[in-house]
Structure 1
Amino acid sequence: MHLPRALLSGMITLVTVTGLAVSSSSAADRGHARTREAMEALVEQDGAPGVLAQVEDGAGVWVGSTGTGDYTRERPRLAHDRFRIGSVTKPFLATVLLQLESEGRLRLDDPVARWLPGLRLGAYGGTTGGRPHGVTLRQLLGHTSGIPDYTSDPALRADYFSPRFLTHRWTTHTPERLVARGLSRPPLFPPGADWSYSNTNYLLVGMVIESVTGHSYATEVENRVLRPLKLRDTSLPGTSSRIPGQHGREYSTLFAPGAHPPVRDVTSLNPSLAGASGEMISSDRDLVRFVRALVTGKLLPPRQLAEMRTTRSADATDRYGLGLAERTLPCGVTVWGHDGTIHGSTTAVFTTPDGTHTAAFNVNGDWSVDTRGLVEAEFCD
């Protein structure tokens, strides 16, 4: 799940921020000094709780942390902590759909209606050569469908991107109901005519995977990606509010206005609000392994990987393919990966095209956080 830019356990806890800042690394910084400085700036200047990083390059593995993983217990962020990864879920789903395409079980240019015939997508279509057509699977993966983002629905935003989240955080959502929120609004543009990031697209991708395979998208991700790569820290929690295994706390200001809104512990929440667009939990270690394997062709045949890496402009620095972003940094270096935000957690993972330099970052907060500076510090050093 990627929260709208404009917005950007059992009991809710009001956290008193003490300013604790603890730094650690697996060894000497070994050329990652600028990265550490950028991490510390997020904590000391921007007020982020803590930052965790893992880098794998020609010098080996470097793990760094700064800030706190738990304000109450004064626990630092620890290597191999697990956390919610938000929209970094999307490359996992895209990988599964492209694997299915490589097996001949679907085509990228299939209309979504072929696999979800009960879904009313009548308004989301256009014409080619005078013939009508609908939104395709390719357009879902690449955010060119024109379908609005369900997280921009005013009623949903009022309940989940404000302090009212405290009374709604346990609610279970179905993808069908969330998709309906997106489809209730007019199309942003004809399919394929433009680009607009929409979480609704990936809820539909999850539904298509289930229609094609007869299994949940979670089962397909586990069997096709997590187990082959031995990503033991990574999971799809469904409706479970827990983060399994070793983890710290995750914090949010709940998008409240004002200079110093209260900071809340939101570690425990029902991630079905994000579903296939951003429900997953992982660690820096697993994300580095996943993105490196993906970009270097260990998960997809060459033709499908080429499709994934066929991009169009998304903003001033990023181009977007099929579930994968291409970013050109100010120093001229190009990296591939994804970032994501969900309540209490902000994540980014990127790698060079040959997979020889890969970095994953997590901030256990969702306010005043821009991971672009971390990526630039690491790859432009």
Structure 2
Amino acid sequence: MRWVLAPNFPKGTNWSYCNTGYLLAGMIIKSVTGSEKVAPVLRQRILDPLNLNSTFLDIEENLIGELAHGWIHNSETGEWLDVSGLPRTALYSCMYTAGAMLSTTENMVRWVRSLYRGEVFSQESLNEMFSIVEFSNPTILGYGLGTMKRVWLGEQAWSHGGDTFSFGSQAAYFPGRDVSIIVLVNQRNYPYQDFYNMITEQLFKQVANYYLYPHDITHLYNLKVTSTFIRPLADTLKITAMLNNPDNPSALKCRRRLRQRRRKKS
């Protein structure tokens, strides 16, 4: 901590996003609980109770299953490089509780839904989390504690994103419909925020359409993402969408893949 710089502004006069807060949270967890590691505390208090068995704090836990390959683009050669074989200890040790969590879309949907429905923290903590400061963006209403209040397709949502060396993510929860949407991407050398927003909007449209007929399994399996996302550096774009209705176990999953050929610009 002796390398920490002076504050950017006096306390209470402004705000700024900084990953250091999440690193401090990890240090506080270890200090308060007396644990040498954060992972056992997270697993005992959050991950196991929520049955998040595919979520891990890398560098402190052994990953069960396969890790998606991460890709980066070499702008000089035009090649896409698979960096999954590179050691990740240094990078993930640096990110630690600010970005070294590994998970799946299914686990993330469950986590986001539980978090925003008040099943994880007390109401007092949620009120503090939802206390926002104004944001200079027409679609973002404000920033709270680790969450953004925004508008998608005319509906209010809570969301947050993140990215690392070769991965990116965005989580969104629509309280008016009790809908959670997770987008995970295994590269980040493109305008990923536009991609996240496009996928989130299209999935939300499909979810809204699905809930018109929540018990019609034929209707469920006919749903698919229909919009395209053309990116000059990719030959194809694959999108896999899954709908999960926890209130209707008989119609849990719907998977569709969209293959989009690269198009030449006119």
Whether TM-score is above 0.5 comes out as yes
**Closer, same or farther in 2 for the Cα pair 1:344/1:307, shift >3 Å?**
same
**Closer, same or farther in 2 for the Cα pair 1:282/1:191, shift >3 Å?**
same
2:82 aligned residue (261, 265, 279): 265
Map of 1:225-374 to 2, 5 A cutoff? 225-238=46-59, 244-253=64-73, 261-267=78-84, 268=86, 269-270=88-89, 271-316=92-137, 317-318=139-140, 319-329=142-152, 331-354=153-176, 356-368=178-190, 369-370=192-193, 371-374=196-199
Map of 1:54-69 to 2, 5 A cutoff? none
The total of aligned residue pairs comes to 196
* Kept after mapping to 2: 8 A contact 1:292/1:355: no
Unaligned 5+ segments in structure 2 are 207-266
Higher RCO (CA < 8 A, seq sep 6+): 1
The 3-state SS of whatever aligns with 1:274 is: helix
CA RMSD of aligned residues (A): 2.2
Q: Kindly provide the amino acid, as one letter, of the partner of residue 131 in structure 2.
A: T
**Closer, same or farther in 2 for the Cα pair 1:244/1:355, shift >3 Å?**
farther
Which ranges of 4 or more aligned residues in structure 1 deviate by more than 4 Å? none
Q: Normalising by structure 2, what TM-score?
A: 0.67
CA deviations 1:140-197 (Å, max 9, x no partner) are xxxxxxxxxxxxxxxxxxxxxxxxxxxxxxxxxxxxxxxx3xx2x4422122322211
**Closer, same or farther in 2 for the Cα pair 1:324/1:233, shift >3 Å?**
same
Paired position in structure 1 for 2:23: 203
Q: Give the deviation of 1:323 after TM superposition.
A: 1.7
Query: Could you tell me the percent identity over the aligned residues?
Result: 30
Q: Distance in 2 between matches of 1:365 and 1:294?
A: 27
* Kept after mapping to 2: 8 A contact 1:327/1:334: yes
Q: Distance in 2 between matches of 1:244 and 1:265?
A: 21
**Closer, same or farther in 2 for the Cα pair 1:243/1:315, shift >3 Å?**
farther
Q: Give the deviation of 1:289 after TM superposition.
A: 0.2
Paired position in structure 1 for 2:242: none
Q: Kindly provide the amino acid, as one letter, of the partner of residue 195 in structure 1.
A: W
Paired position in structure 2 for 1:377: 202
Map of 1:11-50 to 2, 5 A cutoff? none
Q: Distance in 1 between matches of 2:131 and 2:198?
A: 25
* Kept after mapping to 1: 8 A contact 2:71/2:80: yes
Q: Give the deviation of 1:380 after TM superposition.
A: 5.2
Q: Distance in 2 between matches of 1:334 and 1:354?
A: 7
CA deviations 1:326-357 (Å, max 9, x no partner) are 2222x221111321101111111111125621
Q: Normalising by structure 1, what TM-score?
A: 0.48
